[in-house]
Amino acid sequence: MKTIKPVILTTSLIITAGIFADDAAVFKKKCGACHTLKNVSSAKSGPDLTGVASRRPEEYVKLYMTNPAEAKKKFPDIFAKEIKGKFQFSMPAQKLNAEDTLAILNALK
């Protein structure tokens, strides 16, 4: 028993780190051209998204990725306070499959 625990712990740490690295890579590829994410990208066309999935409702963040116009309509208060008038252009809707959406959501927590 004494040796099994550290092995399990090490394995799960490696798996967790692996998942995070993948999530960040998906973000970098799909969103990194416009958005900052701490330790991943530093683009400034759009808002800094570090921790955005913890600061805002999950439904909002999910919707914004593939349908920003709808997200703004459904969450008008967030849009008015945080986004409106602060950026040069509106975010274009992104094409994402369910797997990528989940990975990006993880990276933004």
* Residue among 34, 35, 63 nearest 51 (CA): 35
Amino acid type, 23: D
Shorter beta-carbon distance to ligand HEC: residue 11 or 84: 84
Binding status of residue 103 toward ligand HEC by CB under 6 A: no
Determine phi and psi for 11, rounding to 5 degrees. Answer: -60, -45
Structure tokens at 83: 């986004």
Shorter beta-carbon distance to ligand HEC: residue 24 or 65: 65
Site string for ligand HEC, 20-39 (x = CB under 6 A): ----------xx-xxx----
Identify which range of 5-13, 16-24, 61-69 contacts ligand HEC by CB under 6 A. Answer: 61-69
